[in-house]
A and B are shown apart, each in its own frame.
Chain A
Amino acid sequence: MTTHYLVLSALLFAIGGVGVLVRRNAIVVFMCVELMLNACNLAFVTFARQHGNLDGQVIAFFVMIVAAAEVVVGLAIIVTIFRTRRSASVDDANLLKY
């Protein structure tokens, strides 16, 4: 019965993963990361339902909070990069290399 939820979760995760790998716009990459996190949340909640305890739900809350914090910091960084470089492409921010 919960299989559909897990399949959806896996699909969302895969879409997010592909998005992270192929898109260059930092905002979109960021959204894809969020998508992956939420896929995980969905899986957690599903498993919580399946096992009949609240552990998964609790972890899902944790993930949401971490995600929220991440959005704050991450968006701030992206906006700053955009301001200085006039570009939101992740490939342009490649100074941190060998």
Chain B
Amino acid sequence: MEPIVEHSGGVIGASWLMIAFPLASAAILLLGGRRTNAWGHLLGVFAPVASFVVAVMCFLQPSGRYDVGLYDFIPGVAKVGLLIDPLSITFALLITGVGSLIHIYSIGYMAHDPERRRFFAYLNLFVAAMLLLVLADNYLVLFLGWEGVGLASYLLIGFWQFKPTAATAAKKAFVVNRVGDFGFLVGLFTIFATFGTFAFGPVFDNAAKASNGTLTAIGIMLLIGACGKSAQLPLQSWLLDAMEGPTPVSALIHAATMVTAGVYLVVRSGAAFFPEGATASLIVTIVGVATLLAGAIIGTAKDDIKKALAGSTMSQIGYMMLAAGLGPAGYAFAIAHLLTHGFFKADLFLGAGSVMHAMKDEVNMRRYGALRALMPVTFITFFIGYLAIIGFPLLSGYFTKDGIIETAMDSNAILGWLAVIGAGITGFYMSRVVFMTFFGSKRWADDVHPHESPSVMTWPLIILSIGSIFLGGYLILSNRLMVYLGPAVGLPEALPQFHPFSPTGLATLALVALGAAIAWVRYGSAEVPQVAPRGSFLTTFARRDLYGDALNEALLMRPGQWLTRLAVWFDNKGVDGVVNGLAAGIGGSSGRLRRIQTGFVRSYALSIFVGAAVLVGAWYVVGNL
């Protein structure tokens, strides 16, 4: 790994503009109000494009690790600064590149929404926060971006807030993410307690001096944060509900960029807190494999096209996590898969959005069917994305997923085979989506008239599908990405060689083909019922998201509600009761005591005399003692 050098001026010194453009745009659109309705979407698109230009200019600079200090944030704790290195530039290109395409697509998708301006403001806010996340040069500023994307995600999931389901989903996403943030925060405290700083440079340089237990603790805490943001087990439950948001949001935030932030965090911290073979790294791989299987299984049973794709997203991020836990050998594959996934999953989601647009926002695939002729562009681009994700030879996913599986196999055969099985399930559920949507017979209602989407929506699809075809090969062949990222994340001892059709690769392809064949038999050639059949225990298990929500409800929500009610009761009757009881006691006894005041002068006089007599008597007695 190269040391980080301080840098100012030049193109790199102006890298903060990347964040400034979308942030300023979001501010203008939110403060400007209805006045900006007419041109808001144009400004909203301009901002990420401008950021993309800055990112490309930074990318074209000589490669290195530059630290651009901006200003003192919390004196003695952290400064705001940007780290421009191959890893962050790669992310910045993905975020602004795919982000710009999705912004453009949104012009068409949200054309009929009266709140389109607000939508673009939130999207810009998201882009700014996400860029801050990946460009930050210390953990605290990273956390700032981390929470910023969480906020943007909350706002965008709940964009149609008048729908109670959307509002609930938004809140759920935020709260579950906060559980992850709790872990992240504890990790931050431990980092500060150990190193006295949050800055990446000093922390990474000195990590080796800290005790193993500390490093493992930090690693696990950061992983909890990563699990929340990247919808990994056990904090995965929010992602499926998050599909309540508009589809471009699902594509940008809940597929291409934000949910990969956890992978970024693990890779960025990899050298320090997730070294190859460490306990924390092992846990990362286990989480990754568990999630890739869980997501895939959920994907097999969903009839909602977006939820099927969301299960797939979980699963694919599981692959990235798995790779990120494998040390320097896996980092490049994790990032490569992240990039190609960013393209093909955005392509798939936007394709799904295009279908929904045509189908009056119907999301149930059982009401689709035979759309390939009516929506040719959407179909072809969606199909390319489909081939890429299942790992069809020579398309993007083939190279990157295969790389992950091979690396996992080298490290641990169990992990490797589980990843292969996951690929097989991917073949099944993605084929199911394609067959149910574009093949078979028409199953839609009479008043729906499917049509191809406007070109402002199809062009982003075309560009994304081109990326889905070529990007993987470009990144993996001759280890381009690995060498490029090397200075930032470290290189493995030996660069891997790409073997087309290795035994593992062939096994994977065979399983994928099998999965696709089963899908064809059940959903391609056979008639798909419009109402979901009850299905076996396993189907229900997958449909109910592996009972994740039921578990959360039984373990957390119910006891939580019970505890809340108990606490309210205790505070009113217990704590306040003691105080009010005391007040009532004093009031009551004085109420009794005041009866002595009879109003009769003679009784007062008598008590004075008796009192005087007692005093004199007492004095007399005491005096004679």
**Would A22 and B602 be within 8 Å (CB), given that A17-B609, A98-B594 are in contact?**
yes
Assess the A94–B605 pair: CB atoms within 8 A: no
Bound together, the chains give a CA A80 to CA B352 distance in angstroms of 99
Tell me whether B595 is interfacial, beta carbon within 8 Å.
yes
How large, as a class, is the contact surface on chain A? Answer: 10 to 19
Bound together, the chains give a CA A36 to CA B107 distance in angstroms of 105
Nearest B-chain residue to A24, judged by Cβ: B602
- Interface flags, B291-323, vs A, CB<8A=1, else 0: 000000000000000000000000000000000
Q: Which residues of A contact B605 (CB under 8 A)?
A: 20-21
Assess the A95–B609 pair: CB atoms within 8 A: no
Bound together, the chains give a CA A74 to CA B595 distance in angstroms of 27
Tell me whether A51 is interfacial, beta carbon within 8 Å.
no
Assess the B606–A21 pair: CB atoms within 8 A: yes
**Would A91 and B602 be within 8 Å (CB), given that A17-B609, A21-B609 are in contact?**
yes
Bound together, the chains give a CA A94 to CA B597 distance in angstroms of 10
- Interface flags, B584-625, vs A, CB<8A=1, else 0: 000000000011011111100110010000000000000000
Assess the B609–A94 pair: CB atoms within 8 A: no
Q: Which residues of B contact A93 (CB under 8 A)?
A: 601
Nearest A-chain residue to B591, judged by Cβ: A98
Q: Which residues of A contact B609 (CB under 8 A)?
A: 17, 21
Assess the A98–B597 pair: CB atoms within 8 A: yes
Shortest CB distance B68–A (Å): 80
Q: Which residues of B contact A90 (CB under 8 A)?
A: 600-602
Q: Which residues of B contact A91 (CB under 8 A)?
A: 600-602
- Interface flags, A75-98, vs B, CB<8A=1, else 0: 000000000000000110111111
How large, as a class, is the contact surface on chain B? Answer: 10 to 19
Nearest A-chain residue to B609, judged by Cβ: A17
Assess the A94–B602 pair: CB atoms within 8 A: no
Shortest CB distance B55–A (Å): 84
Shortest CB distance A25–B (Å): 11
Assess the B601–A97 pair: CB atoms within 8 A: no
Assess the A98–B595 pair: CB atoms within 8 A: yes
Nearest B-chain residue to A23, judged by Cβ: B602
Tell me whether A29 is interfacial, beta carbon within 8 Å.
yes
Bound together, the chains give a CA A20 to CA B609 distance in angstroms of 10
Assess the B599–A96 pair: CB atoms within 8 A: yes
Bound together, the chains give a CA A21 to CA B600 distance in angstroms of 11
Assess the A97–B597 pair: CB atoms within 8 A: yes
Shortest CB distance A17–B (Å): 6
Q: Which residues of A contact B595 (CB under 8 A)?
A: 98
- Interface flags, A9-33, vs B, CB<8A=1, else 0: 0000000010011101000010000
Bound together, the chains give a CA A97 to CA B594 distance in angstroms of 8
Bound together, the chains give a CA A13 to CA B598 distance in angstroms of 26
Nearest B-chain residue to A98, judged by Cβ: B594
Assess the B598–A29 pair: CB atoms within 8 A: no
Bound together, the chains give a CA A46 to CA B348 distance in angstroms of 119
Assess the B594–A21 pair: CB atoms within 8 A: no
Give the interface centre of A21, A22, A96 by most chain B CB atoms within 10 Å: A21
Assess the A94–B599 pair: CB atoms within 8 A: yes
Q: Which residues of B contact A94 (CB under 8 A)?
A: 598-601
Bound together, the chains give a CA A24 to CA B601 distance in angstroms of 9
B602 contacts which of A21, A95, A97, A98 (Cβ < 8 Å)? A21
Bound together, the chains give a CA A84 to CA B31 distance in angstroms of 76
Q: Which residues of B contact A96 (CB under 8 A)?
A: 597, 599
Give the interface centre of B594, B598, B601, B606 by most chain A CB atoms within 10 Å: B601
Bound together, the chains give a CA A98 to CA B609 distance in angstroms of 22
B598 contacts which of A21, A24, A97 (Cβ < 8 Å)? A97
Contacts A21-B609, A91-B600, A94-B598 given; 11 further ones with Cβ under 8 A? A20-B602, A20-B605, A91-B601, A91-B602, A94-B599, A95-B599, A96-B599, A97-B599, A98-B594, A98-B598, A98-B599
9 cross-chain pairs, A with B, having the tightest CB-CB distances, nearest first: A97-B599, A94-B599, A98-B594, A90-B601, A98-B597, A97-B597, A20-B605, A94-B600, A21-B606
